[in-house]
C-alpha cells in the first residue's frame, strides 16, 4: 500500500463519526473483538469489523484468530500509536504515464470522424473549448472541456486527419508553447486520445 493509499484510508477512518471512539477502544483495551466493540458503541458489528480490518491494512493494529466454543473469530490490538506518512504527488502519476511523457517519438494527429467540435477563441489562432460526443443511443452526451491557452494553441496546430502526424514537441515548437507547459499538453493529449479525438502513431 502506497503512502497516498494509506493517507486516504486513514482519512476515511477518521471521517467516520464513530472513528475516534473506535480508535480510543483500540488504545484502551489490550485487545478487542468486533462484537465487543460494536456492543460497546452501539454500532452494527459488520461496520466495526470493516473499520478494524482497515486499521490492520494500514499497519496501526494487528489481528489474531482465537477459538471460543469451537467458533473462530478475530481479536484486534493496537501495535503503534502513530503513522509517519508523506504525501508525494508523484505517486499519483503511474509509471506508464511517466514513460509516455518522456517518450518524444510518438506521432499524433486529429482522428478522422472524431465527433468533436473545436471552438475558436475570440483572439483567434487558438481554441478555447472542445466538445466531444461520448456514448451511444440514448446515452449520447456532449463532454465539454475548457482549454488553457497553451492547450488551445497546441490543438490549433494539431495536424488534420489526412496530414502528416507530428511529435508533441514538434507541435509545441510550431505553436510557440514553452516547455513549462508540457505537462498540461501531455494531459490533454492523453484525455483526447482516450476520447478518440487524437490518434497516436508509434
pLDDT digits (tens, 9 = 90+) for 81-106: 887 777 777 777 665 555 555 556 78
Q: Take residue 182 and report the three cell numbers written for it.
A: 508540457
Give the pLDDT score at 20.
93
How deeply is 116 buried, as exposed, middle or buried, from its count of CB atoms within 10 A (0-12, 13-18, 19+)? buried
State the CATH architecture for 3-78. Orthogonal Bundle (1.10)
Show the beta-strand stretches assigned E in 85-178. Answer: 107-110, 116-120, 127-134, 141-146, 166-167
Give the model's pLDDT for residue 109: 95
Q: By three-state DSSP, how is residue 155 classified?
A: helix
Question: Given this model, what pLDDT does residue 39 score?
Answer: 93
What DSSP element (H or E) covers 74? strand 71-78
Element (H, E) at 76: strand 71-78
Residues of the chain with CATH 1.10.10.10: 3-78
Stated pTM of the model: 0.59
**Spans of the chain below 70 pLDDT:** 93-104
> Rounded distance, CA 18 to CA 183, Å?
41
Amino acid at each position: 500500500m502506497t503512502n497516498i493509499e494509506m493517507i486516504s484510508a486513514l482519512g476515511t477512518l477518521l471521517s467516520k463519526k464513530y472513528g475516534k471512539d473506535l480508535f480510543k477502544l483500540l488504545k484502551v483495551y489490550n485487545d478487542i473483538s468486533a462484537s465487543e466493540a460494536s456492543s460497546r458503541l452501539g454500532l452494527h458489528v459488520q461496520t466495526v469489523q470493516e473499520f478494524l480490518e482497515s486499521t490492520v491494512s494500514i499497519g496501526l493494529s494487528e489481528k489474531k484468530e482465537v477459538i471460543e466454543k469451537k467458533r473462530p473469530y478475530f481479536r484486534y490490538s493496537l501495535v503503534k500509536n502513530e503513522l509517519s506518512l508523506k504525501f508525494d504527488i508523484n505517486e499519483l502519476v503511474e509509471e506508464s504515464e511517466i514513460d509516455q511523457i518522456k517518450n518524444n517519438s510518438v506521432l499524433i494527429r486529429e482522428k478522422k470522424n472524431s465527433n468533436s467540435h473545436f471552438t475558436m477563441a475570440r483572439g483567434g489562432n487558438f481554441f478555447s473549448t472542445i466538445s466531444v460526443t461520448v456514448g451511444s443511443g440514448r446515452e449520447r452526451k456532449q463532454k465539454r472541456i475548457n482549454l488553457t491557452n497553451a492547450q488551445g494553441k497546441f490543438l490549433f496546430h494539431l495536424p488534420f486527419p489526412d496530414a502528416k502526424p507530428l511529435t508533441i514537441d514538434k507541435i509545441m515548437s510550431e505553436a510557440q508553447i514553452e516547455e513549462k507547459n508540457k505537462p498540461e499538453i501531455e494531459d490533454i493529449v492523453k484525455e483526447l486520445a482516450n476520447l478518440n479525438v487524437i490518434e497516436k502513431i508509434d
